[in-house]
Chains A and B, each alone.
Chain A
Amino acid sequence: MAALRTDSGWRPAAGARFFCTAGRGLEPFLMREVRARLAATQVEYISGKVFFTTCSDLNMLKKLKSAERLFLLIKKQFPLNVSSVSKGKIFNEMQRLVNDDPESWLSAISIWKNLLELDAKEDKLSQRDANPLKRKVEENDIINPKKLKTKQMQELQESRECQLEKQTDEATVEQGDFLTNREKSQEAFQNDAVKAVAAPNQKDLTFRVSCRCSGFVAKTFTAQEVGRVIGIALMKQFGWKADLRNPNLEIFIHLNDIYSVVGIPVFRVPLASRAYIKTAGLRSTIAWAMASLAEIKAGAFVLDPMCGLGTILLEAAKEWPDVYYVGADVSDSQLLGACDNLKAAGLQDKIELLKVSVIELPLPSESVDIIISDIPFGKKFKLGKDIKNILQEMERVLCVGGTIVLLLSEDHHRRLQDCERGGIPWNSKGSHTDEPGIEKCLNPGEKTDLSDTVSSSAETSGQGDLDKMPPFGSLVPVDRYRVSLGRTGAFICRYRKSPSSAASRLAAVSRFQSSQGSCTALKAVVSGSR
C-alpha cells in the first residue's frame, strides 16, 4: 500500500476514509474542524455522523476536538431492506456486508494497522510497566454485544462516554496523581498499537463486533442477533477468532433507516475524553466548539466570568496558547477545582483565576476582547433580572468589535428572545447554514426545531422596529447553534459589540455631563478613548 513514512507518523498517501460521531448540534463545528485541521475532503454529514477523507497521521487525528469518537470506514451503503418477510433473507443481506467485498475489509484493516504500528514503535521507548492499570482500563471497556440494548445510538454512546470518563476520573482520584491519567490514555493508545503489532498475520486476528440498530431494523432484530450473524460471517470469511474480552480488532456496525455503516474505532478512549482535563465541568466538545466560535487571535484578552471548573478556558488555552486568559467565579469550591485542573494540565501560567462576581467585574470598560461563558443553568440561578445584569456587565467590559459566546439553557434563551423583541431581528440564514450539504442532510426533526425558533423571533421582532435600541445596548446577535447536552438542549449564542450604538451612548453620556455642567469632560471622553 502506498504510504508516506514521516517522522510524525504513518499517513495514507491517497487518504483514508473515516467517520466521526458527534453530539447533536456539533456537526457543523466538526465539519469545519476536519477541513481546517486535517485538510479533509469529501466531507459529508449524514444522520449523526460526519464522513471525511484525509491523509493525516494518528497524532493529528488525536487532536480532533469536537468529535465524540473516530472510526476508520470499512463500508457505508444503503440501509438493509427489512420489508422482506423472511428473517433469513435479511440475515443473508447482512452476511453480504462481509462477503460481497472482502477486499474492502482487508484494506481498511491494513490502514488501521499502519496507523497504529508506528505509534507503538515510538511509545515503546517510553513505555511504563503498568499492567494492573492496563487491565483496569480494558475490563471496564468491554462492549458485550449480549448486553447491548437497542436504543438510539446517541444516548447509548453518551452514557458509555460518561462511563468511560467516570472511570478515568475515578482511577485518577484513586491514584492521586494526575500523570497517571495522561499515561493511562497513552496506555490505551499503546494498547491499540500493541494489539495491532501482536497480530502479525491477519489470520490470527481476534475481533469483537459491537452493533447498534435503530429505526425499522431495531424493530426486527436485536443487536445481539446482528452481532452474531456478522461475527460468524467474519469467522467464515477471514478465519479470525472472536474474543469478547480482549480482542485485537473491534468492529463497529450501525444499521438504521438511512444507511448501514461498518467501521473500526481508531482509539479506545473517546476523543471527547481529554487527557489534560482532570475534572470536566462542561462537556469538552462543547467547550471547544464555543471557543472556536469566538475567533480567538494571538494577544487577545479572553475572559470567562463564570468559569466554574475552567473547562472552556482549558480547551481554549490548549488550542490558542498565545492569549491572555482570565477566569472568574464566585464559588470557592469551583475555583479550587479549576485551580487543580489548571495545574494538572500544566496551564497555570496561562490562565489567571479570580474570585469576583460577574455582575461586578473589576475591569475597566472596553478592556476585554473576548468573553466566553457557560451561563449556569438550574433553579438556584434566578432568571430574568440576573441574566440582564450579567449581560450588561459583560457588555460594559467588552471592547467594541469584541465577541461574546454564551451557552444558554432553553429557558435563558427564551427569556432573552423576549427581551430582544423590538431589537435587531435574527438573520434567519445564519452563518452556520452556509454548508449546502447541511440543509439536505439535517433530520427533519432538527430542522423544524431551528426554523421554529427562528420564525418565532421573526414574529416577535416587528419589522418597523429597527430604530429601537436593542436591549443590551450594542450587543448584536450574530448566530446561534442548538446543541444537545444529553438530556437537555441548549444554545450556543454569539454576539458582537457593534460600534454603532457607541455613538448614541456617547450622546447620552454628553447629555448627562452637560446637565452636570462639565462640558469639557465630553471632549476628553471622545478623544481619550483607547
Chain B
Amino acid sequence: IATFLGRKLQPRPQNEVEETLKRIQGQKGVQGIIIVNAEGIPIKTTLDNSSTVQYAGLIHQLVMKARSTVRDIDPQNDLTFLRVRSKKNEIMIAPDKDYFLIVIQNPSD
C-alpha cells in the first residue's frame, strides 16, 4: 500500500503503450507483434528478423491497397482495421496515419 501511495503519477502515454503491447503479447495464442512505420520498415518486433521483414513488406502493400479501396469509395472514410483469417492463424492489422501494428494470433489455441 505504501508503494502504491508513493507512486509517481506519470503522464499516461509513455508507459501505457508498452504495457498494452505486453498484454497483447501475453494473450493466449498470440504468436507475434510487429510495429511497422509508414515506409514499411519494421521498428519493433517480437518475431525473428526474416519473418518480420517478410510480413512487413507483404502486409504493407495489402494495407495500402485496402485503405485505398475504402477511401476511394468515400474519401471521408478510413480503414480502421483489417483481419486476415487463414487456416492456421489470424493476422490482425490496425493501421494508423504513421504506423501500423500487426499481430499474429492463433485464436483456437
Q: Do A and B come from one complex?
A: no
Residues of B bordering A, CB below 8 Å: none
